[in-house]
Structure 1
């Protein structure tokens, strides 16, 4: 059983790396499953055993990156909003190439979905709490999306300070 898991991990890694490479030169919709599996040197069956569609490859990779960030932030003991935001912007800086690729290929909505899942409203929240969580998660996404669109000119620390101060005249 362990051998199958190792093989499956290898296949997923090949598919993920190949898709990221192909996205550097093509839009997602222009990449066929045949192109992807050929580049990854795996079979179509291997692709469909692991993913339903190409977008799922990116979602899984995004979840891994964000999951790694979240685990690191928990281990570091970051508890204040400022520490968590600073850590998050640091994560985006560290993984700049991937997030820029998502932005350039009009796939940044995948990040919005992830942020909503992490910071957005939950069914158990009272109405006001849900509205505040929605405001925060969508607002945070807007800051991040615009930061990437403007070429990430500020450092992660500067972005955290700007968000904390929310001074729109700077």
Structure 2
């Protein structure tokens, strides 16, 4: 193995050890109670190894969650038929039930929400036809739907999924259709 391959493997191993250590610590502590010192001690790496790979503890969580969430959204956007996209999004949220509960308890759920927000923007940019909408309408509709969708799923997951997944899909689809119609009416009324 060449020296660069070896150093890349060491870097990847350090990242993996740090991710594993932080996730283990988060089982018993909130993120704001954990220090870099605790993480490197548990990971068995140096502070230098930490700072070669990450700037903050939040960066470790992004490195863990972002590829997983991005991959799921990629499948939903690029490999799922149009009429099955909401079902696929629902399945993603079901799969995220335990990580979401842990994130809520561990006080790092904001990291998952940020990654979700970025992906939902890409999702709507890809699956929607925006020809008849202004840039302002598009921007704020995506923000509104992203935040609303996230809040509904989070509530559903954290309250032990009392409603059926079908009911949640229907609710989100109804909100999506109603708000799009409202935007279309706004555009039509502007033109009159």
TM superposition score category, shorter chain reference: 0.7 to 0.9
Residue equivalent to 1:111: 112
Residue equivalent to 1:135: 144
Q: CA deviation at 1:104?
A: 1.4
Residue equivalent to 1:15: 18
Hey, what's the Cα distance between the residues in 2 that align with 1:96 and 1:131? 27
Q: CA deviation at 1:112?
A: 2.3
RMSD, matched Cα: 2.3
Note if 1:86 corresponds to 2:87. yes
Judged with a 3 Å threshold, the aligned counterparts in structure 2 of structure 1 residues 106 and 13 are, in CA distance, closer, same or farther, namely: same
Hey, what's the Cα distance between the residues in 1 that align with 2:139 and 2:85? 20
Hey, what's the Cα distance between the residues in 2 that align with 1:152 and 1:21? 26
> Structure 2 unaligned runs (5+)?
126-133, 176-192
Residue equivalent to 2:102: 101
Q: CA deviation at 1:18?
A: 1.2
Hey, what's the Cα distance between the residues in 1 that align with 2:39 and 2:146? 33
After TM superposition, list the pairs within 5 Å mapping 1:36-115 onto structure 2.
Answer: 36-74=39-77, 76-80=79-83, 83-115=84-116
Hey, what's the Cα distance between the residues in 1 that align with 2:60 and 2:53? 9
Q: Is the Cα contact below 8 Å between 1:120 and 1:136 reproduced in 2?
A: no
TM-score (norm 1): 0.82
Q: Which has the higher helix share?
A: 2
Secondary structure in 2 matching 1:148: helix
Judged with a 3 Å threshold, the aligned counterparts in structure 2 of structure 1 residues 72 and 129 are, in CA distance, closer, same or farther, namely: closer
Q: CA deviation at 1:154?
A: 4.3
Q: CA deviation at 1:33?
A: 1.0
Judged with a 3 Å threshold, the aligned counterparts in structure 2 of structure 1 residues 79 and 8 are, in CA distance, closer, same or farther, namely: farther
